[in-house]
Amino acid sequence: MSDQQTRVEQPASPARSGKAAALGWILTIGLNVVAPIITYNQLRDHGWSEFGALLVSSAWPVLDTAISVAWRRKVDEFAVVTMVFLAITAVVSLIGAHSARALLIKDSGVTGLFGALCLATLLARRPLMFYFGRKFATDGTPESTAWWNGLWEFEGFRRTMTVMTTVWGVTYLAESALRVVLAYALPTDTMVIISPIMVYAVLGMLGVWTALYGKRSQREGERRAAEADAKAEAQARASGAGATAS
């Protein structure tokens, strides 16, 4: 099916409920990001092991998944990926020595494994960024979810999701490798400061790039659609003029 045909059949984005979207954002960020971090830090401050603190803090994304199932009657992929990420962190924390340098390298291993996960989903039916995008571009209602899923029919949309997932995967693999090198090259006290800065800096840059690239891809798709419309209209006029002359 051509982009032009798909575009005609594809419905416009449904109006989103502001309250539903806001509540979805609050639950997502609160249960998948804020609550796990606070829980982990509090338990560590009270003498819990890394593994125990991670295990307990991972209960929050499980709760988010339960809420998603009860509210939307489906499993939320974002929460599932978060739980997978926490599981990877827990497994990595059990491997090897427990020195300060080893812990820094383990943190790098976690982001590296996430990058590998991104690239692995390129072999799946849909890449990881498709599900992340659906989480934040819709309010979870059947109408908005169906609209987002329908965008997959666009070749340009599929290419955008693939490129985004590839860039995230490669970037996190590179970031992981760089942090491992720095963990050996720099004093531990220095690396303890640099490591979290790198994590948030890379995440911030990826977020900005993703937003800009998404907007550029959308503009490009709109431009191509307008050109296709103009071409179709010109062909229709030419056919009409030919029929009149004959």
| Among candidate residues 27, 89, 23, the one with its CA nearest the CA of residue 60 | 27
pLDDT digits (tens, 9 = 90+) for 25-36: 677 677 766 787
User: Within this chain, do residues 112 and 84 fall inside the same structural domain, yes or no?
Assistant: no
pLDDT digits (tens, 9 = 90+) for 52-88: 776 677 778 777 766 766 665 555 555 566 666 666 6
Look at residue 6 and tell me whether its pLDDT is greater than 60: no
Residues 123-131: what's their mean pLDDT? 91
CA distance 52 to 150: 42
Per-residue pLDDT, 84: 66
Give the pLDDT band (50/70/90) at residue 161.
Answer: very high
Report residue 137 as tokens: 């571009």
The number of C-alpha atoms within 13 Å of 23 and in the hemisphere containing its C-beta is: 10
User: Within this chain, do residues 91 and 159 fall inside the same structural domain, yes or no?
Assistant: no
User: Within this chain, do residues 74 and 193 fall inside the same structural domain, yes or no?
Assistant: no
User: Within this chain, do residues 133 and 223 fall inside the same structural domain, yes or no?
Assistant: yes
Residue 2 in domain: no
Per-residue pLDDT, 233: 77
Per-residue pLDDT, 91: 67
User: Within this chain, do residues 200 and 125 fall inside the same structural domain, yes or no?
Assistant: yes
Q: Which residue has the tokens 């490591």?
A: 195
Specify the pTM: 0.65
Residues in CB range of 12: below 8 A, 6 or more apart? 147
Q: What is the largest CA-CA distance in the chain?
A: 90
Residue range(s) defining the domain that contains residue 77: 17-95
Q: What is the mean pLDDT of the chain?
A: 76
Taking the CB of residue 28, how many other CB atoms lie within 10 A of it? 21
Residue 1 in domain: no
Look at residue 246 and tell me whether its pLDDT is greater than 60: no
Give the count of domains, the chain: 2
